[in-house]
Structure 1
Amino acid sequence: MILFIRQSLFLVLLLTLPFSLFSKLPDLTEKKVTQKTNEILNLHAHYKKLTPELMKRILNNFLEELDPTKTYFIESDIQEWQDPSDEKLNAMIANFNAGNFSNFDNIFKTMIAAVERRHSIDKEIDYSKLPQNVKTDEFKDMQWVKTIDGLKDRLVRIRALQADTASRLNEELKDKSLQRIVKRQIKYEDEILNPDTVERQKFILTKVLKAVTSSLDTHTSYFTPEEAKQFMINVQQRLYGIGAQLRDDLNGFTVTKIVEGGPAAVEKALKVKDRIIAVDGEPVVGMDIIDAVELIRGEENTPVILTVIRETGDAEPKKEEKVDITIYRGQVVLKEARFESSYEPFGDDVIANLKLHTFYQDADSSSAIDLAKELEKISQDRKVKGVILDLRYNSGGLLTQAVSVAGLFISKGVVVSIKDNSGFIQHLRDIDGKKIWDGPLIVLVNRVSASASEIVAQTLQDYGIALIVGDDHTYGKGSFQTFTLNAQSEVVNPEGEYKVTRGRYYTVSGKTPQLTGVQSDIVLPGPLSESELGEQYSKYPLESDSIKPNFDDDLSDIPPFQRERIRFLYKFDLQKKLNMYEKYLPQLRANAEYRMKHNKNYQSFLKELQKVKDHVEGEEEEQFGQNDLQLTEALNVMKDLLFMMEEPKPASK
């Protein structure tokens, strides 16, 4: 159980990457954009009005929204907007507040001209003669080029890199990969050149709102309606559809996986490798995959008719037949994207490994409930000696679930405190006094363990309940956001939704992981340990901060007339701050360092990391042809700890 004061907006702690713009545009007008901007500023943790500094950021963000790859504009196109005078910025602020977006319209007209120029350049370039050995490093931190010749050179070098990457695939996949790149470019340019003036204005205003929100801080965002739906799917790992994963193969959408327990799996009519060419009679070949998926999803218990091409027979080449399949949509819970569990033998007993991918909650389950059930299930036939809570690649989720998951391992007490935009501090407490585990606990983290993951890891570290092992530190997202779409709501505002940073959070020690992240007790390098990932590398991060520790909870955030009654129910059996791992840490670190130093696979892996420092977020360790070395060593640390804690005490004389 969690004790805190509820807020009107949906509280979320999730590290999110930018969404691409979906094809269906929100119902925006100039007046609505001004209203939404004012709403967001009223809620924001730091900025309360537009300033010249913010307007300069907004202009730069708007340019990057239009040309994120920096392959359309040249410097002279946009010079007047890159470094405008304070006088011009103040005039733009006045225009913005009055609902006048003429400056953004002028930038967009320049973008239209840049797209048309790009078409001419593409016709001039001989893409059959590409340079060799183009490296990805040259495209980091790109600036707009100064000349048309410079733009031509950039386009050629980007195409060379794309062709080199595609050449590693077989011939069929290579062609499809390059065709997808062209298809995405055409789709985006069609949106820019759309002759419908109403749709064009919606497109501009959408980009303006995205530029405004991203100018405030890294995690404040504006979502189109489709993006908002996808964001909620990311949080809940639940949707209404058929339960199939698709791949765009240009001549249709191939089914690559059928989700266990989903409607497609239950009805068994759809098969992996089926190629969907129509949905409810509407052809989808050539359609963007987002639009096709949107056609397939829908209300629960409604039918969708899929026309598929299916290969039959064993002879080569295989025959194809066209099949119409009716599936009734239903709830699809992406369980494998929520959590996993396993165990490692330890003598006659086991070490439980609980891997949580996100902090979720819906009407039927939650991350805390599912973790408790999984540990109980493992414990039914085996004696569990230690638990590893694996939060690697877990970028966060619901704040309430961070409290509930941490509460599984403490008796009672403050889990996290939040300081909002008004400076008010409120404490979120676990008060039910029930633990699912009271023994040796390791929390395994990496550079992209963020937000809710950092609350759980740092809280358990603060109380001395768990050892933190893994990469040297976590992501460093110590801010919390409110989202205008409620977790239980299925209705999305046609004008779009937004997520705004309201303040910072602090664990019971009074520290926030903002910028610095959670520091590991024992460092076990993983695939991302050399990567420049984290809040410190983001565009506009909030500063770090601290408040007083709250191990001795004074209930100061509770209204006085409730305080005594709550004190009577809550103040006994508070979780004490422990130091049971402290005496073992030097030896545990030394043992881990020795094993890693003498493990040839680990040393090979570490050398590879030094060569490649630009890993993509979410890549798994298997890409190096290795087992999960980080998890294996975490298990070794747990085994060491168990041996040390079970050493017999000297007999008394």
Structure 2
Amino acid sequence: MKLKPLIFSILILFAVCAEAKPPKLTAHTTYKKSEEILKGHVSCKEMTPEIARRTLKNFLNELDPTKTYLLASEVEKWTEPSEELVDKIIQNYKKERFELYEKIYQVMVGAIHRRNDLEEKIKGLLSPESAKNIDFKAVKWAQNERELEERLLALRALQLETADKLEVDSKEQFMQRLSKRRSSREEEVIQGGKKKLQNKQMFAYFLKSLCGGLDNHTVYFTPQEANQFMVQVQQRLFGIGAQLRDDLTGFTLVRLLDGGPALRDGKLKAGDKIIAVDHEPVVGMDIVEAVSLIRGPKGTAVNLTILRETGEKFDTEVVRDEIVLKETRFETAKLPYGNGVIAHIRLFSFYQDSTASAATDIKEAIEAIKKEDNLQGVILDLRGNAGGILPTAVAVTGLFIQKGVVVSIKDSGGNIQHLRNFSSDVSWDGPLLVLTNKGSASAAEIVAQTLQDYGRAILVGDPYTWGKGSYQTFTLEAGNIHKVNPQGEYKVTRGLYYTVSGKSPQLTGTKVDVEVPGSLTELEIGESFAKFPLENDEISPNFVDNLYDIHPFHRRKMMRLYSKNRQEYVDLYGSYLPALKKNSSLRIEQNKNYQNFLKELRKEEFDPETAERYGQNDLQLEESLNIMKDLILMLQAG
């Protein structure tokens, strides 16, 4: 099933928010950064004709992803460029000249003005009934203004339909928000009509387009995006600890986070509206800009002008602090079984900072459960876990195995480095299931596949995981979140990783032992659906580890520390798998709710965002729990 819900195809394409200022890029710095990215990439080392074509195509899509601005006649010479044009692009690039991209950019500026004229023209017109048949991800460039006008009407109809699906209070306010986002995105391009600023923004789009032409995981970040990326990786930020909603007349505090300064001070409450930050009005400002004003270094103060629902208006000063988004890091639950419990540990990312990490948090959670209850089994839930910090993934794996290779990294030169678990302090050596889905990627696949390789865990869930077996390096280090390069940052794919069996999940994903369908099972998502994925690869297994990748000077000393309590392959569960599969299949077949859920999955309009749980039950987790119960009984029976 293809992912075509209206919420995905319409809203997300317009959710790219503008930033107040473009990165401080010039032709020279753009060329220099481009060369750094190319030289660091695992396979694409120079600007070839193929990379030039990809970059040009991506540039058009960066400017007009929904194809609701530019006309076919305006882009036809660039969508299928001649060899002569490609050669000219490469030669100009080597001379640090970007005239062609400047020309395309100015065409887009004109198209924005035309789009705004058309929006005014169609304000009072009725929307077509056939709009739902248009897939804006597959649509071609409009042939003329009339076709473009019809497309905008269809887009409006889909947006209104989405408003119905989301059950928003006011369709008018919903449409105003979308219009505001569109205007912000347009202003990002127009930059107040200032040519110098437009060129800087154009260079940012060029870098994004170049990176997107190398592979799916090489990315250029503007300074603002780099900060946001670090928040996602670490699940921590510095600010007041509040979730905001754009209400057009200000930003409403929807929720005050536990432990955050906004809640701690007691001066603010949910429903309050921020109308100015440090006496600068934020009404009409994009929410990303407003948030960037509110965030800042720990210990600094920010003045907020508040409008309360009662009509009271006042200023309050809040001292910024570090906010750890614990609810998006991990969660645990104890599920009663027999004379003990089964632990469900849901890990959303492999985080690590100066005060906590995924490994230490999980270790402490397991120890706490063992102290209070008779722990009989652990379900490590990595669904939707897109990865994180690689050494943290190694440490999490080490909670369940003794010493040994966890992951191997091979760079573009063929050099292999092993990342090992050096601790024999196993937190849990009993029955272990790892629950994955098609959204489990990168570090999550390392942990799942390594535990499977050693025979230490049974994998359950969607048939296979995402398939990201490449590793990237990021130019911004974790400790420098407030030292972002004003020219932007980037992450670049440098090689592939492999688990101890020598297999890489790249492209193919990690195959589970027992298939348990979930909300993502039927979706066409994953590395195999990326534009330019790297191929799968294998190296020799590393169950026998002689530390050959370590310098001889250190090898002997490390071998003394590493030689005892090594993790070997153990076939703990192989004899039980046929029965576990059969029992699970029968339960799913006989569960009417599950069968109805599977029918919904196969529908074209199925939306996983709103249907992660069906009938208020997490059916995938429930069945995983049943498999664990079966496994415990089988192990006890011998």
Same topology, TM > 0.5: yes
2:286 aligned partner: 288
- Distance in 1 (CA, whole Å) between partners of 2:611 and 2:372 is 31
Residue 153 of structure 1 and its aligned partner are, at CA, apart by 1.8
Q: 1:557 aligns with which of 527, 539, 549?
A: 549
- Distance in 2 (CA, whole Å) between partners of 1:512 and 1:397 is 17
Residue 610 of structure 1 and its aligned partner are, at CA, apart by 0.9
1:500 aligned partner: 492
Residue 561 of structure 1 and its aligned partner are, at CA, apart by 2.6
Residue 563 of structure 1 and its aligned partner are, at CA, apart by 2.0
- Distance in 1 (CA, whole Å) between partners of 2:135 and 2:423 is 55
- Distance in 2 (CA, whole Å) between partners of 1:337 and 1:565 is 40
- Distance in 2 (CA, whole Å) between partners of 1:169 and 1:549 is 50
Q: Is the 8 A contact 2:18 2:286 kept in 1?
A: no
Q: 1:342 aligns with which of 333, 352, 356?
A: 333
Find out whether 1:362 has 2:334 as its counterpart. no
Coordinate RMSD, CA, aligned: 1.7
1:117 aligned partner: 114
Closer, same or farther: CA 401–19 of 1 in aligned 2, 3 Å: farther
Closer, same or farther: CA 38–20 of 1 in aligned 2, 3 Å: farther
Residue 161 of structure 1 and its aligned partner are, at CA, apart by 0.6
- Number of residue pairs the alignment of both structures matches: 623
- Deviations 1:36-83 (CA, angstroms, capped at 9, x unpaired): 011111110001100000000000000011101110111110111111
Q: 2:232 aligns with which of 231, 234, 238?
A: 234
Residue 323 of structure 1 and its aligned partner are, at CA, apart by 2.9
2:612 aligned partner: 621
The within-5 A match list for 1:2-81 is 22-81=19-78
- Distance in 1 (CA, whole Å) between partners of 2:462 and 2:134 is 24
What is the identity, as a one-letter code, of the residue corresponding to 1:484? T
Find out whether 1:217 has 2:215 as its counterpart. yes
Q: Is the 8 A contact 1:278 1:306 kept in 2?
A: yes
- Distance in 1 (CA, whole Å) between partners of 2:166 and 2:517 is 30
- Secondary structure at 1:304 match in 2: strand
- Deviations 1:582-635 (CA, angstroms, capped at 9, x unpaired): 11111111111111111111111111111146645x65523x443111111111
- Distance in 1 (CA, whole Å) between partners of 2:167 and 2:618 is 28
Residue 549 of structure 1 and its aligned partner are, at CA, apart by 0.5
1:315 aligned partner: none
Residue 484 of structure 1 and its aligned partner are, at CA, apart by 0.3
Residue 382 of structure 1 and its aligned partner are, at CA, apart by 0.4
Q: 1:587 aligns with which of 573, 579, 582?
A: 579
What is the identity, as a one-letter code, of the residue corresponding to 2:499? T
Q: Is the 8 A contact 2:16 2:185 kept in 1?
A: no
Q: Is the 8 A contact 2:236 2:322 kept in 1?
A: yes
- Distance in 2 (CA, whole Å) between partners of 1:161 and 1:205 is 33
Q: Is the 8 A contact 1:341 1:374 kept in 2?
A: yes
Q: Which segment is superposed worse, 57-66 or 121-130?
A: 121-130
Residue 114 of structure 1 and its aligned partner are, at CA, apart by 1.6
Q: 2:594 aligns with which of 583, 587, 602?
A: 602
- Distance in 1 (CA, whole Å) between partners of 2:18 and 2:497 is 30
1:488 aligned partner: 479
2:10 aligned partner: none
Unpaired runs of 5+ residues, structure 2, are: 1-14
Find out whether 1:402 has 2:393 as its counterpart. yes
- Distance in 2 (CA, whole Å) between partners of 1:385 and 1:137 is 52
Residue 229 of structure 1 and its aligned partner are, at CA, apart by 0.5
Find out whether 1:540 has 2:532 as its counterpart. yes
2:633 aligned partner: 643
Unpaired runs of 5+ residues, structure 1, are: 1-17, 312-318
Closer, same or farther: CA 343–304 of 1 in aligned 2, 3 Å: same
- Distance in 2 (CA, whole Å) between partners of 1:253 and 1:120 is 29
- Distance in 2 (CA, whole Å) between partners of 1:563 and 1:220 is 34
What is the identity, as a one-letter code, of the residue corresponding to 2:446? I
Q: Is the 8 A contact 1:532 1:614 kept in 2?
A: no
> So what's the TM-score if we normalise by structure 1?
0.93
- Distance in 1 (CA, whole Å) between partners of 2:596 and 2:230 is 40
Q: Which segment is superposed worse, 540-549 or 267-276?
A: 267-276
- Deviations 1:541-591 (CA, angstroms, capped at 9, x unpaired): 111111000001121211123222222221222101011111111111111
1:510 aligned partner: 502
Residue 24 of structure 1 and its aligned partner are, at CA, apart by 2.7
- Distance in 2 (CA, whole Å) between partners of 1:438 and 1:325 is 52
Moved over 6 A (4+): none
Residue 128 of structure 1 and its aligned partner are, at CA, apart by 3.6
> So what's the TM-score if we normalise by structure 2?
0.95
1:174 aligned partner: 171
Q: 1:155 aligns with which of 148, 152, 155?
A: 152
2:8 aligned partner: none
What is the identity, as a one-letter code, of the residue corresponding to 1:178? M
Q: Is the 8 A contact 1:19 1:227 kept in 2?
A: no
Residue 155 of structure 1 and its aligned partner are, at CA, apart by 1.2
- Secondary structure at 1:429 match in 2: strand
Q: Which segment is superposed worse, 559-568 or 263-272?
A: 559-568
